[in-house]
Structure 1
Amino acid sequence: MKSILSRNNPIGFFDSGVGGLSVMKKTIELLPHENYIYYGDSKNAPYGVKTVDEVKKLSFKAVEFLLEKGAKAIVIACNTATAAAVEDIRKGYADIPIIGIEPALKPAIELNKNGDILIMATPMTLNEKKFAKLMSRYKEKKSIIPLPCAGLVEFIESGVLEGEELRKFLSEKLQGHNYKNTSSIVLGCTHYPFVRNEIQSIVGHEVNIIDGSLGTAKELKRRLKENNILNEKKEKGNIEIYNSKSEVVELSYKLINL
């Protein structure tokens, strides 16, 4: 497939809020010469507690927004939206690359460490068929323990990335799990990398913490190259950030520059 879009057209990212910025940040490291447009739907966050139909409608609305801005490819930088809507979005927009994200179970398995793999994610991500397929692919190789973390997105959306209240919340979510028997924690929500340090301080530095940002960035690069639409300019690209809650735009720029 050849895209009719210019190489200079931006790559569009969207998420239920600010979480997908963690994916875009990793992508900028890999593809610094591309132009980027980000849309965060913080007004409707979190997606992880909504119905599948609600998430699909919001996801299609976000895609339309990015296409109107001239996006040459779309990254669904949201585990919940990927689980609920990526198949329908790919059918609806077959003429451009659509890249989703899923919990990075494969890299966790490939660490080949003894112990459980803990997956922190939203309830919807863990309940969707896409996640069940992912689990079935690896469940014979490792003990994989899903950990729904309803409420964590709200901390990050409000800019709380550290502190006593957040640490207490995380400790309560993680309590009861034997950290000495944990090899790694997979962050199955793009918001969660922004509180990686607090999670690490609770579980200890022997536990690897992994997210899917790099894998998504590499897949995006592969698809852009495949479609002959990699940006060939030498200077750094532009970044535009939009949010359905205008007051969150300032926080978004702070997070992308962390």
Structure 2
Amino acid sequence: MNKVDSPIGVFDSGVGGISTLKVLATMLPHEDFVFFGDSGNAPYGEKRREEVQRLTDNAVQKLLKHHIKGMVIACNTATSAAKPMLIERYPDLTIVGIEPALKEAVDNGARNILVMATPLTLAMPKFQKQLHLFSGERHIETLPCSGLAGLIECGAQRLDDVRDLLRRLLSTTSGTRFDAVVLGCTHYPFVKKLIADYIPSQPRFYTGYEGLTRHLTHLLGDAKLLRTSNPDRHIEFLSSSVNPHETDLYRELFTSSFESSTQFGRPYTYLSISHE
């Protein structure tokens, strides 16, 4: 395969990365994608850093078998824990990773900011450095959301539990009228409306997906690896889950926002792999 025509790999610890894939697929309309969700090992946010690094490297190995030309780590925890290691280990692969969009919120003038993320993401030195940099005249609160990604991973059947957990988590904040909420886990955008129900100040939400996609586009463009046409577009979904319906969930979450879009009418290739 011509490297230009190779797909872009997208990886997450589970279903959360589908929210990133939606933006990537919209802003890069001529590219093929291979998405791997490590739902068999989700969630990552409460694991040890070394375990996250091992699982993330395993995901890269799986995606490399599909001859990917670039890699998107659509998991804040995996980006924080493993991206530097991956860049050193795979110097010939273009690698970008999603990070909490705190800078984006600050650049847009937000003064009272809530950052929702997994415990490991919030504890990593890179985020702590950014938090220290932007604090001061701004009010920035962090909210470790233990268990939230795991519940979202279960789909609609745990929706009531998601509501209960969000209510408990958000009741622990200071009561500040937040004008910005940074969703520092790719699972969280799927329940953004539920989060908004418990924050009466109607804040603006930040994910960082558009900036991530622009950065990837710039890197692939510099490497002359961007496609300019693709009449037979393919998006593959892979999962490590033993649940045979896991990729059906991936497909449902992905296509839900594209049902009226002709560019996503067909084709897709849906592929499931067994848990190893």
CA shift digits 1:211-243 (9 cap, x unpaired): 121111111111110111001214362100000
- Tell me the amino acid that sits aligned with residue 253 of structure 1: R
Q: Does 1:99 align with 2:96?
A: yes
> Residues of 2 paired with 1:104 and 1:33: CA distance?
26
Measured after TM superposition, the shift of residue 177 of structure 1 is 2.5
> Residues of 2 paired with 1:180 and 1:135: CA distance?
18
> What SS does the corresponding residue of 1:120 show, helix, strand or coil?
strand
CA shift digits 1:168-206 (9 cap, x unpaired): 210110004355521111000011011111111221362
Give 1:109-258 correspondences, 5 Å limit: 109-114=106-111, 116-160=112-156, 163-204=159-200, 206-235=202-231, 237-245=233-241, 246-258=244-256
- Tell me the amino acid that sits aligned with residue 193 of structure 2: N
Name the structure, 1 or 2, with higher relative contact order (CA <8 Å, separation 6+): 1
CA gap of 1:227–1:162, structure 2 versus 1, over 3 A, is same
Structure 2 residue runs of 5 or longer lacking an equivalent are 257-276
Hey, what does 2:83 align to over in structure 1? 86
Q: Does 1:64 align with 2:61?
A: yes
**Mean Cα displacement is larger for which, 233-242 or 155-164?**
155-164
CA contact (8 A) 1:12 1:36 kept: yes
> Residues of 1 paired with 2:232 and 2:139: CA distance?
43
> What SS does the corresponding residue of 2:4 show, helix, strand or coil?
coil
- Tell me the amino acid that sits aligned with residue 208 of structure 1: R
> Residues of 1 paired with 2:28 and 2:175: CA distance?
36
Moved over 6 A (4+): none
Hey, what does 2:260 align to over in structure 1? none
> What SS does the corresponding residue of 2:5 show, helix, strand or coil?
coil
Identity of aligned residues (%): 39
> Residues of 2 paired with 1:151 and 1:94: CA distance?
34
Structure 1 residue runs of 5 or longer lacking an equivalent are none
TM-score (norm 2): 0.87
> What SS does the corresponding residue of 2:155 show, helix, strand or coil?
coil
C-alpha RMSD of matched pairs (Å) = 1.8
CA contact (8 A) 1:34 1:236 kept: no
- Tell me the amino acid that sits aligned with residue 250 of structure 1: D
Measured after TM superposition, the shift of residue 58 of structure 1 is 0.4
> Residues of 1 paired with 2:158 and 2:26: CA distance?
24
> Residues of 1 paired with 2:137 and 2:64: CA distance?
41
> Residues of 2 paired with 1:53 and 1:164: CA distance?
33
- Tell me the amino acid that sits aligned with residue 11 of structure 1: I
- Tell me the amino acid that sits aligned with residue 249 of structure 1: T
Measured after TM superposition, the shift of residue 160 of structure 1 is 2.8
> What SS does the corresponding residue of 1:23 show, helix, strand or coil?
helix
TM-score (norm 1): 0.93
Measured after TM superposition, the shift of residue 148 of structure 1 is 0.3
> Residues of 2 paired with 1:165 and 1:84: CA distance?
28
CA contact (8 A) 1:161 1:194 kept: no
- Tell me the amino acid that sits aligned with residue 103 of structure 1: P
